[in-house]
Amino acid sequence: MSEQYKAIDAVVNIWTEEALSHRPGWTDEFFVGKVKGKHDSGGVSLEQMLQGMDAANIETAFLVAAKSGRVGLPGCYHMPPEVVADAVAKYPERFFGLVGIDPYTGMDGVRALEDAVTNMGFIGAHLYPHWFELPANHAKYYPFYAKCIELDIPVQMQVGQSLIYSKEQRCRSVGRPIYLDDIACDLPELKLIGSHVGIPWHDEMIAMSWKHENVYIATDAHSPKYWPESVVKYLNSYGQDKVIFGTDFPVLRFERTVQEIDDLGLKPAVRRKFMRDNVIRIYGLEDKFQ
């Protein structure tokens, strides 16, 4: 990577020992069985995470205070926003926070979203639709979307298929990117980011990003060397202003992911937009990154 700029990772899971204490029991089974790799079940300190980021020339990571789980199921867990807020407070130049949305919390959840942004410094919202088995265009989400517009923050949501997290956790795939079409038509002021590339409906995600001014793609969770050809072509050409970099750490590791991106041979100007400039613009962080 050029020494003239550093990357910003828009999708990172906090993995400290404290954070892991809030995650469900299927975490180990999922990472070893499905992701096929280690995940540091004892935890990764913030300092260790920063070392990995530095090795990959990543300046900043967006930490997700995930809210995921269909109400009443054992896999349901909510990462306390305080866990992420404390990490941001400790390293304010290196971390920013994204606060999770639970559509079943109604207006109490909307007020909690506003509190997280206005009083705790979170810069965006985050959503896993498949965990609630509610597609992203369901009415339960719309009060949250309206509040995101009021707060002028993006909402980042998983698109693409869900996974089987354990034998007891079988989630239906409600993450079709075409559902973003309804939201963007209804709420054209809302900044929507479809994470996880959209695979296997990546061309559908590209179409939504191309159609709507405020719809974007995050490329986390899938190794760059396996990205579909159409995704790479879109990123490297007419979609160069619509795609942002992410790892979904620890699903993908920082240094290896950046190296795989380098192996794609992106145009230098495209690479800078993708790795840094686009996310600064979308999240309105120009005053933070001069």
Average pLDDT over residues 79-107: 97
% residues pLDDT > 70 (the chain): 88
Position 1 scores a pLDDT of: 43
Kindly tell me if the per-residue pLDDT of 124 is higher than 50: yes
Kindly tell me if the per-residue pLDDT of 34 is higher than 70: no
Number of residues that this document lists for the chain = 290
Q: Which domains does the chain have, with CATH numbers?
A: 7-283 (3.20.20.140)
Kindly tell me if the per-residue pLDDT of 200 is higher than 80: yes
- Name the CA dihedral angle for 237, 161, 189, 69, rounded to a multiple of 10 degrees: -150
Q: What's this model's pTM, rounded to 2 decimal places?
A: 0.93
Kindly tell me if the per-residue pLDDT of 275 is higher than 60: yes
CB-based contact 45:18 (threshold 8 Å) = no
Kindly tell me if the per-residue pLDDT of 234 is higher than 90: yes
Per the prediction, the chain carries an average pLDDT of 91
pLDDT band at 161 (very low <50, low <70, confident <90, very high): confident
Beta bridge partners of 13: 64
Give the least confident one: 34-38, 160-164, 195-199: 34-38
**What distance in Å separates the CA atoms of residue 278 and residue 128, rounded to the nearest whole number?**
22
pLDDT band at 169 (very low <50, low <70, confident <90, very high): low
* 130 vs 252 pLDDT, higher one: 252
Position 174 scores a pLDDT of: 82
Tens digit of pLDDT for each residue in 251-270?
999 999 999 999 999 999 99
